[in-house]
Amino acid sequence: MSEQNEHTVNSPTESSQRPAPQEILGQAGRRGPFRYGERIQVTDTKGRKNTFLLDPHGYFQSVRGSFHHRDVVGMDEGSVIETDTGHELLLLRPLLADYVLSMPRGAQVVYPKDSGQVIALGDIFPGARVLEAGVGSGALTMNLLSAIGEGGHLLSIERREDFARIAASNVDAWFGRHHPAWELRTGDFADVVAARVEPGSIDRVVLDMLAPWENVEAASQALAPGGLFLAYVATVTQLSRTVEVLRHSGLFTEPESWESMVRTWNVDGLAVRPDHRMVAHTGFLLTARRLAAGSRPLTRKRPPARGAYDEGGYWLPDDVKERTSTDKKVRRVLRDCQAKQPSDATPVLSGSADDDQDGTDHV
């Protein structure tokens, strides 16, 4: 994979004002020539990518050359410029997959190869009512919002308020303003669902969390008959335990599970071969459908394999070797993210039933 990073604008008089909300939501509002305030991606001949916001006082500098931001404002997307050092640079607006890999992170992101599977095999459709838990840095959230459109509704739940605020900043930055279909709340999944979600009102539940099996019962209450439960987990033990709890609940169809691996190819004349590096295991996906009330799963033709789980204890990220950011890094990322949010930033709301001052209706 090519190198990507969020390039810091080198500005001697950087404005402290928040960017104005974008009139047209998302990429549809970024057609035409480059303008100040929008994100640009610069790619050199080695495939290295830098992503940053165009600023009236900005200056881009790299080993492959440099330019003032004002020199590229007004150019059409897809332009190739030559720097003073004789190097060529390609100018594009980043795709969502590019943005996810370059944006500030408080937690690990769901990579594009997995988020694409979530959207397609989870059948996330325009107008869908989706419940998401484990927002992280907002990568999957952006894909879900793009799929459901402004006519759907996405309720995202995150335990950590600092992660929720980082995610809100990343999502707002991508769409240019608060997405009208998005509601972001903090708290435990089961508590928020009990307080904020009408039973049987959700089309899809998407869980990206450490112990999704703990929330199978709450998810079953939220899902409409035929609704889809989808979990993204990192390890075999998490996968196995979630599948067994879904089976034992008697409320879902037989779970299906898989992983995807992506291998790019080098195509140059007769030299056609797979690249030496590939994106292999990042996580497992599993799905199951909610049965109608009073129905039972189809009888399994094979008896279940032997095995048991210890129901005691609370799982920690270290138990499954999950990489976590230090509190110091999260505070720094949060500070930088909040400084870039638009004036109509997405609010991070409490999921508590006692906190109804925001006036938000239930799903």
Q: What pLDDT is attached to residue 304?
A: 62
Q: What pLDDT is attached to residue 362?
A: 58
Q: What pLDDT is attached to residue 25?
A: 92
pTM of the model: 0.82
Q: What pLDDT is attached to residue 12?
A: 40
Q: What pLDDT is attached to residue 92?
A: 97
- Enter the tokens of residue 350: 């409490």
Task: For the chain, list residues with pLDDT below 70.
Answer: 1-17, 303-324, 355-363
Q: Tens of pLDDT along 45-87?
A: 999 999 999 999 999 999 888 999 999 999 999 999 999 889 9
What does the alpha-carbon distance between residue 154 and residue 145 come to, in Å, rounded to a whole number?
Answer: 7
Q: What pLDDT is attached to residue 251?
A: 98
- Enter the tokens of residue 26: 């998302």
CB 100 within 8 A of CB 142: yes
What does the alpha-carbon distance between residue 89 and residue 83 come to, in Å, rounded to a whole number?
Answer: 8
Q: What pLDDT is attached to residue 314?
A: 53
* Look-up of token digits 């590019």: 98
Q: What pLDDT is attached to residue 15?
A: 44
What does the alpha-carbon distance between residue 135 and residue 120 come to, in Å, rounded to a whole number?
Answer: 19
- Enter the tokens of residue 37: 């305030």
